[in-house]
Structures are given as structure tokens and as C-alpha cells.
A and B are shown apart, each in its own frame.
Chain A
Amino acid sequence: MTRRDFLAKTGLATGTLLCSGLATPIEAWAQIGNSKTAATDSKLVVIFLRGAVDGLNVVVPYADPNYYAMRPRIAVAAPGQDNAACLPLSNGFGLHPSLGPIYPLWQQKKLTFVLNSGSPDPTRSHFEAQDYMEIGAPGQHIITSGWLNRLLSQLPDNKSPVRALNVGSTTPRILQGKSTSATYAPSNKRRRAALDNEVVEQRFQQMYGGRADSLGAAYSEGIAARNTINEKLSNEQMMANQGALPANKFSSFGRQLGSLIRQEPKVQVGFVALGGFDTHVNQGAGKGQLANQLTTVGQGLADLVQALGPAFARTTIVVMSEFGRTARENGNGGTDHGHGNVMWVLGGNINGGRLWGKWDGLSAGRLNENRDMPVSTDYRTVVAQIIGEQMRLSQSQLNTVFPNFARTDRSLADLVV
């Protein structure tokens, strides 16, 4: 329309509709303002399953007869076929029964999976592939910081010692870099460390506290993080000590991490690594070795979501693994190192209840190198979509998190609400 028509229609030319004409634009600006503030509250939790979890048994392609032909001993039964059958998702895919605790999230559309995703680098070495996935720059060894640490450098620094929370006992590659992160080892038995003793702590405080150098700073940050965690979790730990001690030390990771994040709004990122997924031998199907490992993950994730409470609305949890496994079972009732895998995404603000990614079936011609799954969606596309939208990162900021990564894949444009 012509400018004159536009002005006539909105009444701006005559001036009579000036107020109501402006009302809508102001409202829109107010909404943008609010969502900018909300964006800085957004949190990302990364769960890394080390050892290459078997994605084909996590999200089971039960409608594809090739699946059962390739895995006579370890295929998970189709829904309703036996008492350890998968739970129906959509499009002929099912969820491993051990992940039952998170199935309600699928039904509430807060859980989804990206099929045939992962790292484009062809390495099938655990250490190398984990390194590449954590550095966020597959195939090179020059960058040594982790992408989660680089993400922190792009988020507003709220000066909290626990803005990055690592559950474990060592700082993983993904969190290595200039920004500081707090490490918290979940345990049901509190082993007394020397610094837990106040008198001892005071002595070290005297030696380190007054130093203006990096040693002094590191000491102070470490103590501050430890104090914050202890303060927020003291109730949690008391409860854990009174109950029976679970066998797997990570079985309560979900509850503790979720509580911490809920009680400390300044947490921006979290990380947990779980091991035991390298199932070369006797993997089992709906029940067995893999099933047992997945039980920990499923329960942990359900606990995490529950403990987050209202914070779940602003949190996204991404589960990844360095690569997938072979489509065919091997001679030992297990699977070997593969390529493409499934990424799991849970969050208050994602479009769940449907599957994402590109799936071409399991016929021989469609496998990668005639042995495993292709990577049709780069893991960085998944993460960039989430952090770009929810944390309002610019393209330049995303380039810092994932250098030399061209975001040409638009297939996940609607992943985030």
C-alpha cells in the first residue's frame, strides 16, 4: 500500500488515532524487554553419557524389521510384546523401558529426541571423540577449552562462584577454560577433607587469603563455591545420610543438582558425566546391563526435573554421548563403536512429544559405512539452537562457543518454543 494509505488506515495522518495507534507497539516493546530479562535466567544442563550409549536401544525403531533381523539377541521388544518392551513414542519408535521415569515428560511434550545426531568427525576412539565433543570443534587439537566454558564467557557474569556447576570429582574438558566452575561430588557418605576442619581452614586462609595473585584468587573462589554448595545442600545431605545408601553414587545426582539450581538462581550451566555405557559384551535388551545403566539415568533425570520445580520452566537438559554403536549386534551379545546416536532434550521451553532429525531406516544401503548410523544433524546445531534462542546469543557469540561452525542446518528451527 502507499504511504498515504498506510497513514490513512492507522489514522496517524489525521492524528485522531494516535494513542491507540501507538498502544500495540509499546506493548510489543515491553514483551521484548521482559523476554530479554528472562533470557538471562535461562539455564543449560549437559549430561554426558561416557562410553557411547547404544542409541538404537534408547529410542527403538521397532517398526523397522531390519532392527530385529540385526539384533536377534539384544533387540528391545515392540510395545506390548513382552514385559520389558519399549514404550511408544511416535512414528514407530519406542522408549527403552528403563527410561519409564521420564516417559511422562514425553507425554507432557517436555521431552524429545534428535535422531541420527552427533559429531561429524569419524573417529571411533572414546577419548578422542569425547574430547572433540567437549571442545566443540571436532577434528582439531588446537583449541583446548571446552564449549561450555566458552558459553559462560558469553553469558552475563553474575559473579557467583557456582554459576557453573560440575557434578563429579574432576573438571571435565567441556568446562575447562577461563571462566570459573564449581565442582561438587555427590556422595552419601561425607568424607572429611582437611579443609572441612575450621581450624585447618583458617590456617590455609591465612596463607592464601591475603595474596593478590592468582593463587589467592583461586583459593578464595574455591572456598566460596564450597561454602555455597554446603549451605544450599546441608538439608539434602542430612536426608541422604539418614536413608539407606544407594549402590551407585550417582543415583542421587538428579535430586541434589536440581535442588541446588532451584535454590541458587545464579547457576547458569550444569554438567554431569555418567559412565558404564560401553556395552561390547552381553548388553541385554529390555533387561540386562544397558537397562541397568539406563535406570540410573532415567531416575536421575526424573529426579532432576522434579527437584528443579519452577526452575524447570527456564532450564534445558541435553543428554549426549561421544558416538553411537553398531546397528548389528556382535558375536558377544553386545555392540561395538559406531557413529550417529540420539540426543535427548528435556526442557520447560522445548517442543517435545515429537521426534526430530533425519531417519532413513536401517537397510544396508542406508547405514554409515555399512555398520552404523549416519550423523545427519550436527550436535552443535542442536545446542546452538537451544542456547541461541533461550539465552539470546548473537551469531558472533555463538561463533565463540562453536568456532568455525556454519549454521546452515535449519531443520531444528522450531525445537525451542
Chain B
Amino acid sequence: MTPRAMARRAGARITEYGGGLIGLGPDGNGSKSVGEFGAYFDANRHDFGSKNVLGHRIAGSGEKEIEQVLDILAKHPSTAKHICYQLAQYYLADEPPASLVSKMSDTYLKQDGRIDKILETMFNSNEFWDPRYINAKFKSPYRFIVSALRNTDSHLTDPTATAGYLRQAGMPLYGCLTPDGYKNTQDAWLNPDALLNRINIAATIGAGRYPGVTTGNITAESLADTFATRLSDQTSATVKKTPANQRVGLLLGSPEFMKY
């Protein structure tokens, strides 16, 4: 199917499913009584025709249709797969093993989407403990700067520079334009310039000179303990050769600290 045809079909579906939602919206001027989640359903604007959603026929009944549509979408195998893929990608690897995603999706569908059960499946899986997937993820700019501050027990007295770093790195706080959110993959965030920038920032934090940050009083040993399952031989050797007062900055800029 050509991209144009796909877009037309998607558009038609949106119109169809959207018909079920017409009439639902935020309460603009605070004068109407809103439902549980702050939305107001205006029956006058609703489309009362019947709709076809993913093979299910929905009679035009008003506000109840919305719950029906949401239920259909929430219980759909594609939804299960998508959400489980995202979870596995966030925790394990940019391309998580299909076997794990499959196991998690099964749990999702059998356990009515309960996230605690899904996570249990993930934490108890062989894949989760496979050494291949330990420290395999490259940190996003957000994760990098937050982990740098937390791991060193630092305090943020003025967020300007930190927020500025996020903007500069292309990840302004809550500033993602698209509804699917910021990516957490290496492809999205690793580039030569970004990496050198992180290293320079790491050294500045280590030296206690990052604006708006009071770097915590932490030793290189306890820092290494906090974030590293294992330091590479090169990193360990380099740390040993570095004067004690520069080791924290060095570790924050190390390859190991760039990953989780």
C-alpha cells in the first residue's frame, strides 16, 4: 500500500473512531459539571450514528460509547505489544528481544493490562538478567544530567544552566512536540558533539563549578559503586592515574556513566 493510501485509510479510521469521541472535551470556561477526569460530554455535539471500530459495531448511545471504544483499544493485542515493547526498550535495549516482548504481551492480555504483573514478568525473565542487556542503553540528555546530579548527591540551587543544557541538547524539559514523546534510543542522542559536551559538563560538575549546582561531597569509590556494575580495565587504570580531586569528574564523563 502506498503511503498516501495508508494515510487515507488511517484518516478514515480516525474519523470513524473520532465520531465516538465527538462531544468530549475540556470545560472551557468552568461553568459545566465535569466528569471524573475533568472532561465534559456535550451530547448536542455528539455524532449518534453507529460506528465500526476494529470490527466491533458500536451503537450510537452517547457518552457510554467512549468507554466502549477505549476498552476495545486498550484490550487490543497491538496495544499490548506496543506498550510492552516500549517498556522493554526503556529498561533493556534499543531493540528488545522479541521473546521478552511476547511474554510481557501475554501477561498484559491475561492480566487485564496490570502493569505490576507485566513488570514482574519482565524482571523475572531470563532476558532481563542476560549480561548482553546490562548497561546496554545510552542515556538521554535528561537521564545523563539528572543521574550526574543524583549520583554525586548534588543540590540544584538554580535550574537555569541545567534546563539550558537540556534545550541545547535538543531535549527541552516537557518540550517534546510530538505525542509519542522523546526517544530513548542511542540513535536519537549519541553524536560526537553531544558526547564531548557531556564530558566537559561532567568535568565541570566534578570540579564543583557547574552553575546552579552544589556538587555533593562524594568519593570516587562510592560514586563508582553507585553506578557501575563493572568498570572496564581502561577506565579503572585511568582513574588510578588521575589525581584524587579529579576522579569524580572523570567518572561522570566515563563511557560507563554514559550508559545504564
Spell out A's residues near B (CB within 8 Å): 127-128, 131, 141, 144, 161, 166, 169-171, 173, 176, 180-183, 193-195, 200, 203-204, 206-208, 210-211, 214-216, 218-219, 221-223, 225-226, 404
Contact = CB atoms under 8 A, between A and B. Distances in A.
The interface residues of chain B, by DSSP majority, are classed as helix
Contact of B249 (A166, A173, A194): A194
Contacts, number: 87
Contact of B195 (A127, A203, A222, A404): A222
A25 B250 CA distance: 65
Interface residues of A, dominant DSSP: helix
B241 A194 contact: no
A390 B224 CA distance: 53
Given A195-B203, A203-B241, A222-B192, 13 more contacts: A141-B178, A169-B168, A170-B167, A170-B169, A194-B203, A195-B196, A200-B203, A207-B232, A207-B255, A210-B234, A221-B192, A226-B196, A404-B3
Contacts of A195: 196, 199-200, 203
With a 10 A CB-CB cut-off, give which of A180, A181, A195 has the most chain B CB atoms.
Answer: A195
Nearest to A172: B170
B177 interface: yes
Sorted from nearest, which 8 A-B pairs have the closest CB atoms? A222-B192, A194-B203, A221-B192, A183-B193, A222-B196, A193-B200, A170-B168, A218-B195
Interface of B: 3, 138, 167-170, 177-178, 186, 188, 190-196, 199-200, 202-204, 232, 234-235, 237-238, 241-242, 246, 249-250, 253-255, 258-259
Given A194-B199, A204-B253, A171 B193 contact: yes
Contacts of B249: 194
A219 B204 contact: no
Contacts of B204: 194
Contacts of B3: 404
A170 B203 CA distance: 19
Contact of A211 (B237, B241, B242, B255): B255
Contacts of B186: 214
Contacts of A210: 234
Given A206-B234, A207-B238, A210-B234, A171 B196 contact: no
Contact of B250 (A141, A181, A193, A203): A203
Contacts of B200: 193-195
Nearest to B232: A207
Interface centre among A183, A207, A218, by most chain B C-beta atoms within 10 angstroms, is A207
Contacts of A173: 170
26 contacts: A141-B178, A170-B167, A171-B193, A180-B191, A193-B200, A194-B204, A195-B199, A195-B200, A200-B246, A203-B238, A203-B241, A203-B250, A204-B253, A207-B234, A207-B235, A207-B254, A211-B255, A214-B186, A218-B190, A218-B191, A219-B192, A219-B195, A221-B192, A222-B193, A222-B195, A223-B196
